[in-house]
Amino acid sequence: MAVKNFDSMIELAASRGCKRIAVVCADDELVLEGVKMAVDRGMAEPVLFGPRAKIVTLLEKLNLPTDWHIENFDGEEKECAFTAIEYIKAGKADLIMKGHMQTSSLFSALLNKERGMANGHILSHIAFVESPNYHKLFGSTDGGLNIIKSFEQKVNIVKNSVDAFHKLGYASPKIGLLSFVEKPVPGDPETGDWVKISEMAAAGEFGQALIEGPLSFDLCLSEESKKVKGYASDVAADIDVMVCPSITTCNASVKAMYMHGATAAGVVVGADVPVVALSRADSPRSRLASIATAIALLGE
């Protein structure tokens, strides 16, 4: 059964059993508060990596259990990430969560050929959005990782999206390929790429999924626009994932929806395990939803 909102996402995560979260550079109040919310719901067991003394001080300040598992690490944050990755590879933790560190340091470690967890795959960020103006939860990608998207990157971002939504219970996720218009424009590389990917999807290269593009923003999300334009489509106005042509397009559109009442959660997919990448601006519900979504993405 497909996940339709964050309440059902949290229920799904809890049903998967308690998962061990390796928190890299865990010396951060907001990160620890987010972990506590997941612990309180029985879905998470934290493994905290970072300076033990500082982490214990923060746990005491926040009235959190000081007997949480702490792996003391006082070195560079990238090396802290490598230590957490080794924990994952040894089967001592199930997923990774970004703590008080630069995003670039974490992903540089994950993408490292010898010590990372990407195995040559392209990683991508999915923002899961719950909006009062749309009838179900949907993903928007990639607004946090890939700055310049080659055709190969776009193909892999679509693959990552299909795989993620299969794990969330979607038998055939509906993927909208966002552009400024809903038809190909001669000589325009953006709409041309989307046409090629749509053709690949029709040939079965992405497995069970309905993939359509180019689609304009309003046709991705608005039933009224679909009616007014007389646009015949099983994907338009019912997308499960909106794949954006640039990091700016995705980032700006998600933040615009956030400013108009939406809740967003973020997870990076494509590595051996999901990666929780929180923002300091995230609300408590967003933090919990991000952790729950990563746990749900582990699959059965």
pLDDT value of residue 299: 74
| pLDDT tens column, 130-181 | 999 999 999 999 988 888 788 999 999 999 999 999 999 899 999 999 999 9
Question: Can you read off the two tokens belonging to residue 197?
Answer: 């990917």
Distance CA 3, CA 280 (A): 26
Q: What is the pLDDT of residues 88-118, one digit of tens each?
A: 999 999 999 998 888 889 989 999 999 999 8
282 pLDDT band, cuts 50/70/90, is: confident
Cα–Cα distance for residue pair 26/86, rounded to 1 Å: 16
Three-state DSSP at 205 gives coil
Percent of the chain at pLDDT > 90 equals: 79
167: Cα separation from own chain's centroid: 13
pLDDT of 1 strictly over 70: no
> Can you give the pLDDT at residue 213?
92
Domains annotated for the chain, with CATH where assigned, are 1-121+271-300 (3.40.50.10950), 127-264 (3.40.718.10)
Q: How far apart are CA 9 and CA 3, in angstroms?
A: 6
Buried b (16+ CB within 10 A) or exposed e, 75-111: eebbebbbbbbebbeeeebbbbbbbbbeeebbbebbb
pTM of the model: 0.93
Three-state secondary structure call for residue 238? coil
